Structure 1
Amino acid sequence: MNPVILIVIMIIIGAMIGGVTNSLAIKMLFRPYRAIYIGKYRLPFTPGLIPKRQQELARQLGKMVVEHLLTPEGLRRKLKAPIFQDQVTTWAQKEVEGWLDHPATIKDLARDLDVDISSKKLEKSVSGWIEDRYHTIMSEYRHVPLEEILSEEWKRKAEKGTDRLADHIQESIIRYFQSREGRQKVTALIENYLDNQGFLGNMISSFMGPDGITERIYPAITRYIADNEMNVWLRGMLQSELKELMQHRVSFFEDKIGRETIGRVLGQSVAKALPIEKWVTRSIAEWTRPHREKIVYNLVPLFITKMTELLSSRMDRMMETMHLSEIVQEEVEAFQVQRLEEMVLGISRREFKMITYLGALLGGLIGMLQGIIVLFFG
């Protein structure tokens, strides 16, 4: 045979063998996707390398991600980076601003959440809560004397109030007796007294007459009730009454009206005094408008700073709780090998072709070398 033709044939055969071998090796990285059996015997090299080692690959990837890629230290650096915090703060401020401008009312939000906040129900809830709080607080003070509950300031106010009450009572009595009605009342009392005294009363009445007796007694009565002695007596009496009341337990005053009655009336009064209907029909924008600037520019940055510090301090525990390596392992195990093959070939198709061509080139060179050796020794 012509030496040139022999060498060419050897080169072509070597190139075909080298190219086909490399191409087959690349294919066998992924294919076949499943093991192939002939009877009970599995064919060698089935499934492909990656499908066969997918679980081990998934385990190693999970370990690599946790130990070398998503480490707590790396995440802390990212969280504490000024650029990242500025980005998060800007995003949070925009989100909060949008929420603060929301036209929905509290009632609308509750309806979206399937929560009933009608005015009557809220009034009932507020009333019940205040009533419960009243009984809870009073259970601690019912058996305590009133003077032990009141502060010194309130005791002084009570004493001053008692003195003012004595002055007011005296002034009221004076005005009454100086009025026409008071004078008539004094005359009627004198007449009634004399009528009940029998003969002596009739004699005095006939001798002086009711009007005459009134003219003599009335000035003495008005002078006495206007005298300072009357004021001192009233103050002393009321102060004595006050001291006696201070010795009573709180339950003494509560029982005069009724515990349940006080709690119920107090709760209902407070609930009706609150503008609940107005509150629930106000929009979020109306509620937050007075505090908008403070919320957006003060509270939001502070909240982001505190949250990043909290996340940084809890990063190790969070990553342990999340089990990232197991998540990565499960995702890789569930990933379809066919899809992985498409991704790898889509990225490295050119490089794989070059490997195939390199195999053909090396095969051709080996074939040429073999042809030369055959000619030389043949």
Structure 2
Amino acid sequence: MKNFIPCIVGAVIGYITNWLAIKMLFRPYEEKRIFGIKVPFTPGLIPKEKQRIAKSVSEAIANHLLSKDTIVKALCSPNIYSHIYNMVETKIKGIYSSTKSFKVLMEENLGFAEKNLDGINEYIYEGVLNNLNDDVKDKIVKEIYNLIEKELNKKPLIIDSISKEENIEKLSRIVYNYGSSNEFHQNVKEKINKKLGELIYTEKSIKEVMPKNMVEIVDDFIYENRDKITSEILHLLEEPNTKVKIKVAISEGIGTNVSPLVAMFLNPETLYNKFLSFSKEYLKEDENKKQICVVIRDYIDKLMEGNVSEIIKSVEYSKIEIIIDRLVNNLQSNVISMELIREGIYGIKHKILDHNSIDEVLLRFNPTYKENLYGVLKRFVYEVVDGDRTKTIIKEGIYRITSVTMDRPISSLIKVDEDIVIKISNTYIKGVYDKFIQKQASDVIEILNIEKIVEDNINSFEVDFAEEVIVGIAHKELKAITWIGALLGGLIGLVTPFLYL
């Protein structure tokens, strides 16, 4: 029995010493002093070396467990890509299946309010206007001009087949259009202005300076050609350019004089057709045709009776310009006829056949027509783009589009198949994610400074909390160490008596 007493004592001592050693890793938490003298082994090893331990642990974690390469690799794992795909798929399927309007979804997910819509509309409107700068307008002008020039440089069919009788009508129409153009108008106006400058000092009437019997000839011509005149009036009303001008005038009249609610039910195309139909019915009656001729003849007769110098001197220059404009307009409307043009066509027929393109034909009439054409196009585009009407149309269009769009379910705005959207979106998001990981992830991880985060967190732990964590993790192992101490102490106590033999 006495041989087992050293064994028991050794076991107890071994157990106590190991238990005490484990406790001294943490305890005491603070340094202890007796009579001002520091007690050895205080504080415990871990509290005493807390900062060094934190530094070592953080370095080990940052360099081996959570290194940049390890984190980047983890961020590019199949699980992450699978999660991205599932997230994209869920979101898109939710959008397709949702019956909520675009506005409601924005309110729920982005905190969008109705008042924000005005700001969005203004932002879009300002962006559109800012983009409609001179460079854009010049590009529009150049594009239109290039398209026209391309067509003008082609060899028109009319030149190839001009000798055919049925095509005389087409060529007559071209010449008639020129006779009705502003260019022709300006040329005649310049001639009249020059003649007025010569007649301003004469005492004769307009009729006297006109060739003999010219007034009677004109009167007879107007009366005999009343059918053609009214026909040309109708034809002029049906001309594409005239049609556009009338519809624009109708639209502007509606927009100025009619409320927007009523204007919605007034179609310029319908009103134009009504006007054209009424004009045709009115001009069918011979009495109405004669009345038009009377108006024209009376206007001419009154003009012919006046003294040239008195008329010129009594009228302001600006009014003379208006009178000349009206005179030329009457000339273009009532004198220049298709029949007159047809007769002239035969005289220039062979000369036209020598040209290979419309461009050559127009150059023959006016060598500078291209410059004039470009100038007209530029003025037109600038006036249209910069006009208040265009700005109003843009603003109203933006407000209408955004309002309608916001009230519709977002699924109705997407016309692409759901699977295609999922595939495209996943590819795009995955590409953006990969690009970020490859180019920015390392920098972000470095900025995060995992080593510093771990070190700061360990240093922030209270010692008793650290003890609780470590003991909780290694409870069984520490218990085993304590009992191993008892076992080794017991074995040493058991063996010791035999050493004295």
TM over 0.5: yes
The 1:188/1:26 distance shift into structure 2, 3 A limit, reads: closer
Q: Who is 1:166 aligned against?
A: 177
Instruction: Determine the structure 2 residue equivalent to 1:340.
Output: 466
Q: Output the amino acid matched with 2:397.
A: V
CA contact (8 A) 1:11 1:363 kept: yes
Report the alpha carbon displacement of residue 50 of structure 1 after superposing the two structures with TM. Answer: 1.7
- Alignment partners' CA distance in 2, 1:165 and 1:278: 47
Deviation at 1:276, TM superposition (A): 2.1
Query: Per-residue deviation at 1:334?
Result: 1.9
Q: AA paired with 2:437? A: L
Residues 79 and 312 of structure 1 are in contact (CA less than 8 Å); yes or no, is this contact kept in structure 2? Answer: no
Trace 1:191-230 onto structure 2 (pairs within 5 A): 225-229=338-342
Letter in 2 for 1:175: E
Q: Is the 8 A contact 2:101 2:408 kept in 1?
A: yes
Cα shift at 1:286: 3.5
Equivalent AA in structure 1 for residue 131 of structure 2? R
Q: Percent identity?
A: 20
Moved more, 15-24 or 75-84: 75-84
CA offsets 1:259-290 (integer angstroms, 9 cap, x no match): 46256334334325x43222112233433474
SS in 2 for 1:32: coil
Deviation per residue, 1:217-259 (Å, 9 max, x gap): xxxx8895423358879x979x859656435387755786894
Q: Which amino acid aligns with 2:402?
A: I
Match of 1:362 among 488, 493, 496: 488
Task: Say which is worse superposed, 355-364 or 23-32, in terms of deviation.
Answer: 355-364
- Partner SS for 1:34: coil
Q: Does 1:133 align with 2:131?
A: yes
In structure 1, the partner of 2:319 is none
Distance 2:375 2:139 in 1: 5
Partner of 2:391: 264
After superposition, the C-alpha distances for 1:5-58 in whole angstroms (9 at most, x for unaligned) are 4x4443333322221111100111122223334464432222222222222122
For the 8 Å contact 1:29–1:49, the answer to whether it is kept is yes
Mapped contact 2:179–2:336 kept (Cα < 8 A): no
Partner of 1:186: 293
The 3-state SS of whatever aligns with 1:29 is helix
Letter in 2 for 1:186: C
- Cα 1:313–1:172 change in 2 (3 A) is farther
Q: Are residues 1:175 and 2:288 paired?
A: no
Q: For each residue in 1:160-214, what CA deviation from the matched residue of structure 2 results, as whole angstroms up to 9, or x when unmatched?
A: 9x9498189699864339863343332344456557777xxxxxxxxxxxxxxxx
Aligned to 1:90: 86
Matched pairs, number: 341
1:131-188 CA deviation, whole Å, 9 max, x = no partner? 3333xx12x377x79975644213456999x949818969986433986334333234
| Structure 1 contact 174–222 (Cα < 8 Å) conserved | no
- Residue 16 of structure 1 corresponds to 12
The alignment status of 1:48 with 2:78, answered yes or no, reads no
Q: TM-score, normalised by structure 2?
A: 0.55
Q: How well do the aligned residues superpose, as a CA RMSD in angstroms?
A: 4.4
Alignment partner of 1:311 is 2:307: no
Contact 2:28 2:43 in 1 (8 A): yes
Between 56-65 and 108-117, report the one with greater CA deviation. 108-117
Match of 1:277 among 385, 398, 403: 403
Closer, same or farther in 2 for the Cα pair 1:323/1:48, shift >3 Å? same
Shift of the 302–196 alpha-carbon distance from structure 1 to 2, 3 Å rule, reads closer
Report the Cα distance in structure 2 between the residues aligned to 1:353 and 1:81, rounded to whole angstroms.
40
Range that drifts further, 221-230 or 300-309: 221-230
The aligned counterpart of 2:419 is 293
- Select which of 373, 376, 385 maps to 1:246: 373
Q: Is 1:29–1:50's contact at 8 Å kept on the other side of the alignment?
A: yes
| Deviations 1:99-125, CA, capped at 9 Å, x for gaps | 554454332344344444455554444
Q: Which residues of structure 2 form unaligned runs of 5+? A: 157-172, 182-227, 235-282, 306-333, 349-360
Whether contact under 8 Å (1:10, 1:367) holds in the other structure is yes
The 5 Å alignment of 1:6-85 reads 7-38=3-34, 40-82=36-78, 85=81
- The 1:182/1:231 distance shift into structure 2, 3 A limit, reads farther
Q: Provide the rounded CA distance (Å) in 2 between the counterparts of 1:108 and 1:164.
A: 61
The answer to which of 331-340 and 59-68 deviates more is: 331-340
Q: In structure 2, give the amino acid aligned to 1:185.
A: I
Instruction: Provide the rounded CA distance (Å) in 1 between the counterparts of 2:385 and 2:84.
Output: 58
- The letter of the residue matching 2:125 is S
Aligned equivalents of 2:303, 2:410: Cα separation in 1: 79
Give, as a single letter, the amino acid of the residue that structure 1 aligns with 2:449.
Answer: H
Match of 1:210 in 2: none
Provide closer, same or farther for how the CA distance between residues 302 and 70 of structure 1 changes in structure 2, counting only shifts above 3 A.
Answer: same
Query: Cα distance 1:282–1:46, how it changes in 2: closer, same or farther (>3 A)?
Result: farther
Assess, with a 3 A threshold, how the Cα gap between structure 1 residues 296 and 256 changes in structure 2: closer, same or farther: closer
- Which segments of 5 or more consecutive residues in structure 1 lack a partner in the other structure? 199-220
Structural mapping, 1:320-335, within 5 Å: 320-335=446-461
Structure 1 residue 315: Cα displacement: 3.8
**Distance between the aligned counterparts of 1:18 and 1:314, measured in 2?**
56
Matching residue's letter, 1:154: I
